Each structure stands twice: as C-alpha cells, then as structure tokens.
A = this chain, B = another copy of it.
Amino acid sequence: MTVEVISVGTELLLGNIVNTNAQFLAEKCALLGLSMYNQSVVGDNRERLKEAITTALHRADIIFLTGGLGPTEDDLTKETCGEVMGLPLVEDEHTRERIENYFKNSIFKEIPENNWKQALVPEGALVLDNDNGTAPGLILEKDGKRMILLPGPPNELIPLFQKQVAPYLQKLRPELIVSRMVKICGKGESQVEEELLDLIDKQTNPTIATYAKTGEVHVRVTASAPTEEVADKLIRPVVKEIKKRFGVCVYSTREEETLEMAVVRLLKKYELTLATAESCTGGLVAGRIVNVPGASEVFREGFVTYSNKAKRKHLDVSKSTLKKYGAVSRETAREMAVGGVFATDSDICVAITGLAGPDGGTEEKPVGLVYMACCLGDKVTVEKYQFKGNRSKIREQSVVRALDLVRRTVAENYGK
C-alpha cells in the first residue's frame, strides 16, 4: 500500500516552522510497512490544495493531510478534501459536544463563533477525538482511497496518530509489521552497511535498514507476519547475528534508549559513579548525561576546564605536561581523566581535550584533533580522533565518542 503526505500551511512555505510532522509520519509509515514515494507542501490556498490532493490521489492509496483544520477562514483542508471526494459537510453532534466541553474548562467565557465550524465534517467521515485541541482528526474513505486529516500542531497530531491512526492502519494490512532496532556506536554507516551487505541482500522478511545519526548507526530489522510471535521468530536470529557481528559496538536494542541512557543504565547496573572533565566539549558530555532522568544516582559532578590553569587547578594536570605536550595531547587527556577521578572520588572519569577550531590549528595539530581518556581504577584508556566539519560538528562527534568510551570501558571491564 502506498501513502503520501500533504502538509498544508503558508507558515511552512515562509520557513517559519520546520516540517517535523512530515518526518514523524514518514517514520511511522515506514514502520507500518507502507511505502511513501512523495511528500508535498502547499499553502492555505484552495486551488493549489485541490491540485495537490488530485495529484496525490492518482499516486497513492492513503493520503495524509496535516494542518488547515483550525477555525479560521484560512483553514481549508477539510472543505477541499470533501469537495474532491464529493462529500458534503455535515455537523457532527459528538464533536459539537466535545467543543462545548473543551471550552467549559478553558479561560474563555464564550465559545468563539468560528469554532463551531470545527464540528462540520465531510459526510461519512470517521471522526478521531482530539484530546489536545478542538479540531478532530478525520478519516475519509471512497473508492478504495483514504484520506487521513490531522491537525498541524505536533502535540495534537502525535497522540492522535499513535492512539487512533496507527491501529487503524495496522488493521488495513493483512499482516502485522513488527520491528526491532539495533543501535551501534563506533562504526560509520558505510562500514555497517558493508558488514551487513550479505544479510541485507539475502533478507526479504525481515528487512534490514540502516539509519545514520551523529556518531551512531541504527539498524532496523522489520518483519511482516500474521502474529507477533511469528514476527518475533523471524526477527530474533537476525538481531542476534547483527549483535554478534558488531559486538561491543552495539549499545542498545531498545527502541527508545539513547546512548546516554545506555551509559547511565550500565553505570547503575554496576553501581559505578562517573565524573566528566571537559575542555573543547565545554560541558556537553555532562549535559547529555543529565538528559537522563535519575542520572544523579551515577553522576555527581563535572568540570569544564577550558583554560590550562583550570586543568591544573581542578584536575592536577602538571605544568610540565602542558608545556611539553600541549593542552591537546594524549598526555594531557590522560592526566585530566586521572585527576578527575581523584578530585571527585568517582569510579570513572572521562576527559576530552581537542581543537574545535575554526582557528588554532597547525600542521602537527590540525583543527578536529581530539584526545579523550577514560580512567577506571588504575586503568586509563586514551583515544585519538581526527574529526571533520565545523566547530559544532567536531564537538558533537566528540561528545558521542566520549559517551561511548565510557560505555565501552564499563562493558569491557564489567560486562554489558
């Protein structure tokens, strides 16, 4: 089954907002095994919207329309879809009641007149209750084609999709679509693809797809099967094989688990505490750790030692090391990590020092050169990286690698 997204809203054409809804729907549709070949954006203009809908109807079985369901005169999505499908607008009693209730609990004393417009729906439409706004979602069906109309604000669209649209779409398929994610850090996308090429080529069910993220690669294994159990049987050996091939580089097989969550989970599991000692990353590694609710159990303090003096004062990096090797060096990274453990009495300290640029690079030490060290007990691992890109790219990659260095250090010394 093919699906297409039409995003409606002049604010998208003016660049006022980023179209995160299209990304959300695209990802969810891919997960449900629906094929998407086109997306489009049109403004709040009846003629152009009509043209976009007509074109999409020729190409796809299911069309998502987002936005343009509000109460103002600019909002034309419902009207135009109804017109193209030949369905007149009729009042939906249930939605009228919901609007009344919605405003009862609001700061408005009277219901703005134009809000009643939102109780009108194309005849025969399936109405999806919107718990976060007044515009309901709508599903129109005719001649084997389906239109799914959703409100533009993501905090309305996302729950509507998850609670009502996803189950609806799932039912359209003869088979269930089940997928599992394998998250990898420390390998590039092309490297991962190459190492999986035989599997990717061989597999038709489950399928294997790779997704590049900053410093990470996510591999999704998706099976189509009549039951959850059968799907699971198809997926499990493939996931096992991928995990085997990438070993310690696999940091998670949980859909929602980020790299920092995996780090915090491991630290908690082995009751370890972590400290950070950051130079070029300037606090971003600590910032990522603190993203995780409950991080306080394993993370108590960190240093941003941007100057040499701060490195000496807080981390006891020796003057002679800084002089002889420089702040961006294997030796300084090592002393920062060791000093961080001592200064904080933590079990582990990760230290990062590098040249994020744009200035300050030399032939010997070019911009992008980053050293990071991880100290655990009396063991210190030091790694050298040469990153590409601008200042923020270099720093982002450093953060990911530093988090992963902590994860690998724990995994190698304690277990995964």
Q: Is the CB of A38 within 8 A of B27?
A: no
Which residues of B lie under 8 Å from residue A211 when comparing CB positions? 11, 14, 16
Question: In whole Å, how far is A26's beta carbon from the nearest beta carbon of chain B?
Answer: 3
Q: In the complex, which residues 65-92 of chain A have their Cβ closer than 8 Å to any Cβ of chain B? A: none
Instruction: Please tell me if A237 contacts chain B, counting CB pairs below 8 Å.
Output: no
Q: Does A12 contact B (CB under 8 A)?
A: yes
Cβ B155 vs Cβ A389 within 8 A: yes
Chain A 37-74 interface mask (CB, 8 Å, partner B; 1/0): 11111110100100010010000000000000000000
A305 to B22, CA, bound (A): 39
A392 neighbours in B (Cβ, 8 Å): 291
Known pairs A301-B305, A307-B301; A41 contacts B16 (CB<8 A): no
Q: For the complex, is A186 an interface residue (Cβ under 8 Å from B)?
A: no
When distances are taken between beta carbons in the complex, the residues of chain B under 8 Å from A359 are 293-294
Complex contacts, A215 vs chain B, CB 8 Å: none
**Cross-interface CB contact of A306 among B295, B356, B393, cutoff 8 Å:** B295
Distance (Å) between the CB of A252 and the closest chain B CB? 18
Interface status of A13 (Cβ within 8 A of chain B): yes
Q: How far apart are the CA atoms of A134 and B379 in the complex, in Å?
A: 41
**Inter-subunit contact B48/A42 (CB<8 Å):** no
Please tell me which stretch of A136-144, A264-272, A278-286, A401-409 contacts chain B, meaning at least 4 of its Cβ atoms lie within 8 angstroms of it.
A278-286
Q: Among A23, A305, A392, find the residue whose CB has the most chain B CB atoms closer than 10 A.
A: A23
**A101 vs chain B, min Cβ distance (A):** 15
Contact B107 A386, beta carbon cutoff 8 Å: yes
A114 to chain B, nearest CB (A): 12
**Which chain B residues lie closer than 8 Å to A300 at the CB level?**
306-307, 309-310
- Closest B residue to A309 by CB, please name it: B300
**Distance in Å from the Cβ of A374 to the closest Cβ of chain B?**
17
A290-B306, A300-B309, A391-B291 as given contacts; A37 in contact with B22, CB under 8 Å? no
Bound form: Cα–Cα A357–B296 in Å = 12
**A30 within 8 Å of B by Cβ?**
yes
Are A18 and B20 also in contact (CB < 8 A) when A40-B40, A107-B386, A301-B304 are?
yes
Chain B hits for A41, CB < 8 A: 22, 38-40
Asked if A15 CB lies within 8 Å of chain B CBs, one says yes
Instruction: Decide if B391 touches A293 in the complex (CB within 8 Å).
Output: yes
Query: Could you tell me which A residues sit within 8 Å of B by CB distance?
Result: 11-20, 22-30, 36-43, 45, 48, 52, 55, 106-107, 132, 155, 209, 211-212, 276, 278, 280-287, 289-291, 293-296, 299-307, 309-310, 313-314, 344, 356-359, 386, 388-393, 395
10 additional contacts, CB 8 Å, given A16-B212, A17-B23, A37-B48?
A13-B26, A13-B36, A13-B37, A14-B36, A15-B23, A15-B27, A22-B41, A39-B40, A295-B306, A296-B306
